[in-house]
Chain A
């Protein structure tokens, strides 16, 4: 892989950030309702609201507000939460690791569920095995995340008491244990997306000429699968995973609320309802960086596994 390719892809991210920045800044201000009113509720008198607006700098023209925001940003300061009165960077620093842990955990569980089942479904295509696997994940795809979460909580948490209900643990092992149910919820959702696409791409590979050729050489199915099919399946899995990082974060928002996990998903929801502009802006920026990095990594891994990509 050439360094110039990596550099080119990195530079492409910068305009994306600037666009995201401007868009989010304007979008949150287009929402009806302002932070002062959201914090104070519907009882506050106009004078109190006006004072709060002044305190938060919301009485300034938009251009001035944006300029202040950019100035702070350059200094690495994402501003201060209007409702919690603490720096946004600190909030993100406290909560992002939790969401990242959950997302990686969910991705691993999702892949672990999806890949073998997709292969099985492909190999046994159009049999009852294929039908059951596809049916199961079709249901998974149509069930809302919060519903799956609640069912898992009720059954495995409350009834059987195998797992704790909510919370996220202190040590690494404790965290794996606490976050198992939420990761399973998200992982199941992810697996549902992966299985269908993976099954189809494996089928494609299985009927490809080089596989036919490999088979005609007398290689056993297992060898064909692990050497040829799996490698290709992996490429599409990683690409799909990368593309679904947004969905994963979206799912985390709901999952974090149901399982009482203090991650950035819940922070975002609270910020939107509270019209906490600095938190919404800061988090969106962080999400943009994350998604861009994941896309970049996906591309790089893809290029590594399939050298044709780099030249395209």
Chain B
């Protein structure tokens, strides 16, 4: 018996090994995107459309790990934090080059990070705010800090900390930095696995293999395996799927969840569901009075809890996500670092919901309005299901459909009662989502108006607490406090649905959303 096990194991290992050695080099992967990138500058961009592609073109000192929970070495082969936690020393790999063949120097690193942390430069400069100054010596870069910063490693692994060539940037056309950035972003040269070769805005983008990329593949030669990736812009969901089925493209992103099961059954297609940091929820206006001066029942914590208990998440997951989601138990996704696995969320409990409503003085319920994005099938399915669920406790839900820009404008003005919402992290650390969800000063806690002195104090502690264990306990408490106050309706987590041709191997979309083509290859 033992022998059988051993033989099986050996055979299995041999199989894995032979498979891993069988990576194929060359070829072009055609990938269907729902919309084109807008502006390919790592510092001055604003949209996921750019962020999720940037890491293919630009490399960072550290990189997010594929499971989304930590960081791994990038352009820097190692880093050490001083014993007082007031500085970080990074060692650059030797012989690293930009995609034009020019060397990456410590001076380029300093210049790039200085540009990225300049408060006037972009919306992400805050992630490097703890840096006081940067010094270089040979191939080491030292970041001297104003305060200990446990989020710094994650921040250095985020797109805005990408390393650019100072010389190439300055050589770009334009009178000032803003103009140079625009010119450079049209044809950027970074040090990521690929380099932009052709871009017809709104139509297609071709990125080709960077011959100077440092990372090695399984065959011992430099990555990437592919010669090129061609992104075709196909806004219509059905057309993207049809093109994939016809073999005209080999990958299609943002597959509607309603089509996932159908594509899973297709033998020619690998319907991948990549774990994501996406949480889907309803934000509630927690303020005692609404913008029009009327009283707001949602200001009562018992009402907010009641709505949470009256929400049947499993049913929603079946109806809206066709079974591919999972219940949301914390305001942060289960893929977020320091997510507390002991969080229980709000299990469906109608009796508890009714009791809470009665205790709050709303035995007969009330009427409430939620904003939805017009044209979003998900929003509509979600809210009509909630309409029926909440009717059980007397709450009459009205749906107001608005286009995204109008919805955002109303939300920003705090002129709403409820709205559908979704979130994905951009950085491998729980601080970003916490700032937005629970800290009033940022965006009034997602415009809910929720404020907790205890959470704010704990969060401040967490921002300079470098012990991972202590930080985890702080975040456990924050998640519990947030849950008790229930400023939002917890719904579900969803993965990234990407449909690939069967011969596409090694493609990953990490939980932060970045599309990683570095180790992707086409099996012949």
Contacts of A257 in B (CB 8 A): 235-236
- In whole Å, how far is A75's beta carbon from the nearest beta carbon of chain B? 18
Cβ 8 A contact of B202, one of A33, A49, A262? A262
Q: Is B38 a contact partner of A260 (Cβ separation < 8 A)? A: no
Say if the beta carbon of A44 comes within 8 Å of chain B.
yes
Complex CA distance for A168 and B46, rounded to whole angstroms: 30
Complex CA distance for A275 and B404, rounded to whole angstroms: 10
Contacts of A258 in B (CB 8 A): 236, 238-239
Contacts of A48 in B (CB 8 A): 123
Q: Known contacts being A39-B46, A95-B202, A275-B405, is A259 close to B39, with CB within 8 Å?
A: no
Say if the beta carbon of B182 comes within 8 Å of chain A.
yes
Q: Known contacts being A166-B243, A262-B203, A262-B233, is A38 close to B443, with CB within 8 Å?
A: no
Complex CA distance for A267 and B233, rounded to whole angstroms: 12
**Which one of B321-329, B407-415, B505-513 is at the A interface?**
B407-415
Q: Is A43 a contact partner of B234 (Cβ separation < 8 A)? A: no
- In whole Å, how far is A261's beta carbon from the nearest beta carbon of chain B? 8
Q: Is B408 a contact partner of A260 (Cβ separation < 8 A)? A: no
Contacts of B442 in A (CB 8 A): 45
Contacts of B235 in A (CB 8 A): 257, 260, 266
* Minimal Cβ-Cβ distance residue in A for B403: A273
Cβ 8 A contact of B239, one of A91, A94, A168, A259? A259
Cβ 8 A contact of A40, one of B123, B246, B436? B123
Contacts of A165 in B (CB 8 A): 239, 242-243, 246, 248
Say if the beta carbon of A85 comes within 8 Å of chain B.
yes
Cβ 8 A contact of B233, one of A31, A94, A260, A275? A260
Contacts of B243 in A (CB 8 A): 165-166, 260
Q: Is A32 a contact partner of B409 (Cβ separation < 8 A)? A: yes
Q: Known contacts being A86-B201, A157-B246, is A33 close to B233, with CB within 8 Å?
A: no
Contacts of B404 in A (CB 8 A): 33, 38, 273
Q: Is B405 a contact partner of A31 (Cβ separation < 8 A)? A: yes
Say if the beta carbon of A167 comes within 8 Å of chain B.
yes
Q: Is A267 a contact partner of B47 (Cβ separation < 8 A)? A: no
* Minimal Cβ-Cβ distance residue in B for A254: B236
Q: Known contacts being A257-B235, A257-B236, A273-B403, is A41 close to B39, with CB within 8 Å?
A: no
Q: Is B123 a contact partner of A154 (Cβ separation < 8 A)? A: no
Q: Known contacts being A91-B201, A266-B202, is A157 close to B411, with CB within 8 Å?
A: no
Contacts of B47 in A (CB 8 A): 39, 41, 83
Contacts of A45 in B (CB 8 A): 442-443
Contacts of A161 in B (CB 8 A): 246
Contacts of B412 in A (CB 8 A): 37, 42, 49
Say if the beta carbon of A164 comes within 8 Å of chain B.
yes
A-B contact pairs, 30 of them (CB 8 A): A33-B405, A33-B408, A37-B409, A37-B412, A38-B404, A41-B408, A42-B411, A43-B436, A45-B443, A49-B412, A83-B47, A84-B201, A85-B38, A86-B186, A91-B201, A94-B200, A157-B246, A164-B248, A166-B243, A167-B232, A167-B248, A168-B203, A259-B239, A260-B232, A260-B239, A262-B233, A266-B235, A270-B35, A273-B403, A274-B405
Given contacts A42-B421, A44-B46, 10 further A-B contacts (CB under 8 A): A34-B405, A40-B46, A45-B443, A49-B412, A153-B242, A158-B242, A257-B235, A258-B238, A260-B233, A262-B202
Interface, chain A (partner B; CB < 8 A): 31-34, 37-46, 48-49, 51, 83-86, 91, 94-95, 150, 153-154, 157-158, 161, 164-168, 257-260, 262, 266-267, 270, 273-275
